[in-house]
Structure 1
């Protein structure tokens, strides 16, 4: 369990489809008392409104009840996470749009989310990207490869077919747990999510 004095994990939310991943990720992090800083793009807020039955503002209000949670606006380039001198435990972008991926791969950081991700790379901290697009063309793949070579973990939200998930919630829970392992905030997947070869 992480103490409140530990550096926070930054969660960036872009305008790609998959807002439920971001919400469940922040919920899971706060439940295990991991300090969290959230920043969402304007497009992310719009997609959130379309996809979820809880508004983004309502989620922020609920998370603010946790003493180790904070959030910043997308244009707030004076926020602490815009500077490499502010210690963080890394960053997860969930979901990550191809627009944000392309910007980050080419060093374009006009907003706080992209600046925080860029800082994560330059300070050699863990960056986990959950890209949401299919199919992927060559430009998408080249941009993801560029970021992978810079040390980012590319974690597509793939269904764990071997677990026979019954619904989207099961897939999202698996992706969230995989992201938390990649970010180093938990050591291993829960027992019920680990592969067991019963067929051989």
Structure 2
């Protein structure tokens, strides 16, 4: 299906850090915004999804998981594509085919390290390497605490390369009432980075909550 039928194409990768809810909610919002999504899941990400959420991925191959997620989030035909970790002929593996934007959400410390040193041992790392070498948008969402010197050095190195590091650190000025509200705070910031319209979170100065009396 042609790109013209969708608003834009985004590569979304999920790795084994805690915070699968962020990645799945971002996937849902991108599809609802009529974006085409190239999805990459590490083996550890699948374990975390099964552990942290009620999204029970099928045990079959990539085609079964792709069909499951497409049905779960109402994707149109051709809107969602899941690529395996060794699919070197996928569009995201080359600068001639990769989209302008890539998000890794959540991004594990190991993934940050591999990208920072150009390892490219799997498709997620290769796709990120492509984004960096082509000077395209790469947004990384680490979910770790506390950060070690290694984590901080890798994030600084990647920032200097042109990547955006957006930690999964929700704010509270919107008066969250649920875990979902906290997830949406981070996802809203990601959608803003991608230039995708969102109504998950009012912008600063819009519909501000009253100041609580101390």
TM-score (norm 1): 0.90
Q: Which runs of 5+ in 2 are unaligned?
A: 59-63
SS in 2 for 1:56: coil
- Check 1:191–1:133 CA distance in 2 against 1; reply closer, same or farther (3 A cut): closer
Q: Deviations over 1:47-99 (max 9, x none)?
A: 11111111234863231642211110112122121011104031000000000
SS in 2 for 1:193: coil
Q: After the TM superposition, which residues 1-200 of structure 1 pair with which residues of structure 2 at under 5 Å, given as runs? A: 3-5=4-6, 7-57=8-58, 60=66, 61-63=68-70, 65-67=75-77, 68-186=79-197, 190=199, 192-196=201-205, 198-199=210-211
Count residues with an aligned counterpart. 197
Q: Structure 1 stretch 100-109 or stretch 60-69: which is displaced more?
A: 60-69
- Check 1:126–1:6 CA distance in 2 against 1; reply closer, same or farther (3 A cut): same
- Check 1:193–1:75 CA distance in 2 against 1; reply closer, same or farther (3 A cut): same
User: In 1, are the aligned partners of 2:168 and 2:186 still within 8 Å (CA)?
Assistant: yes
The structural deviation recorded for 1:101 is: 0.2
SS in 1 for 2:5: coil
- Check 1:177–1:43 CA distance in 2 against 1; reply closer, same or farther (3 A cut): same
| Cα RMSD (Å) | 2.1
TM-score (norm 2): 0.85
- Check 1:149–1:50 CA distance in 2 against 1; reply closer, same or farther (3 A cut): same
Q: Structure 1 stretch 145-154 or stretch 56-65: which is displaced more?
A: 56-65
User: In 2, are the aligned partners of 1:13 and 1:39 still within 8 Å (CA)?
Assistant: yes
Find runs of 4+ consecutive structure 1 residues off by over 4 angstroms.
none
The structural deviation recorded for 1:167 is: 1.8
The structural deviation recorded for 1:137 is: 1.2
Q: Structure 1 stretch 65-74 or stretch 138-147: which is displaced more?
A: 65-74
- Check 1:33–1:7 CA distance in 2 against 1; reply closer, same or farther (3 A cut): closer
Q: Which runs of 5+ in 1 are unaligned?
A: none
